Amino acid sequence: MPPRKKPVSDGSVSLNKHISDTGFCSRREADDYILQGRVTINDELAVPGNRVYEGDVVELDGEPLVKKVKPFYIAFNKPKGVTSTTDEKDKTNIIAYINHPKRIFPIGRLDKDSEGLIFLTNDGNIVNKILRAGNNHEKEYIVATEQPITPEFIQSMSAGVRIPDGKTKPCKVKQEAKNMFRITLTQGLNRQIRKMAGALDYRVVKLKRVRIMNVHLGNLPVGHWRYLTDEEVKGLLELTAQSNATEVASRQRAPRPKSADKKPGGSQAAETKAAPKKKATPTKAAAPAREEKPKAKKGTYKDYRRKK
């Protein structure tokens, strides 16, 4: 039996692993790129078996390889007085308060006078998917008011209230105590709940967000944060899988009026046509077998980076 290779303990990694860790391709495909002479280390042509050390510059097709950053998601119980902004000029900004070692940013806002659940992440792809009103993602709040809650107030809030931003969408509202109610919104208008209550001559004295989609605040102490669990992240990604990440999702499209004189055959009644059949061509004799070359992935690494 051949002797086992001793593990390398100098902090280096194999070149094919370094390439695959970027998310661009598998180790086997990375080996193909190395054999094709498309990979360099510190401007020197790489060969199979090379290792990559800290500080080395690895390029594929002349483009520096960028290691894929694993996304993470934070649930933070924001205290009253902390501002949901990344602006360093604001001394009460949420980033300075959390002081996370990695670069993060909040998903959405929770006004300075409110407290409760807010997400922070390094994943820019998910932000708009959660924020766009057209995606109808639920956010749940517990609200205390100066005035006692009445059935009329619950009914009016549930049906939608006329505020300066327009009439709010219907929502779920339930009385929790004499001066407290629970509300679930699918909108994210600025200071929406306070404006809704104010339009009905109610004054909000405390507002706390307790849930965003599938993630609950639970017993997380005020001013503390935690990473979302694998189960929570899975649920979050599933709920946003079909979400529109563009501004289109936040627009409510009005139904198009049907035109009485619309003729069939237009864009409203497009027919699918079968592709014309190709004539059969005589088969040729099989060519002699050639030496198999390493398979190449279509496109270059530059194309891959541009798509990302």
**Catalytically annotated residues:** 111
Q: Rounded to whole angstroms, what are the CA distances from 301 to 19, 37, 59?
A: 11, 14, 9
Q: Does residue 79 contact residue 222 with C-beta atoms inside 8 Å?
A: yes
Cβ atoms of 35 and 43 closer than 8 Å: no
CA distance 308 to 292: 32
How far is residue 219's CA from residue 239's CA, in Å, rounded to a whole number? 23
Q: Which conformational region is residue 156 in: left (phi greater than 0), alpha (psi within -120 to 50 degrees), or beta?
A: alpha
- The dihedrals phi and psi of 213, each to the nearest 5 degrees, come to 55, -115
List % helix, strand, coil for the chain (3-state, nearest 5).
25, 20, 55
Phi first, then psi: give them for residue 237, nearest 5 degrees. Answer: -70, -35
CB-based contact 39:60 (threshold 8 Å): yes
End-to-end Cα spacing for the chain:
46
Retrieve residue 290's tokens.
């050639």
What three-state secondary structure class fits 59?
Answer: strand
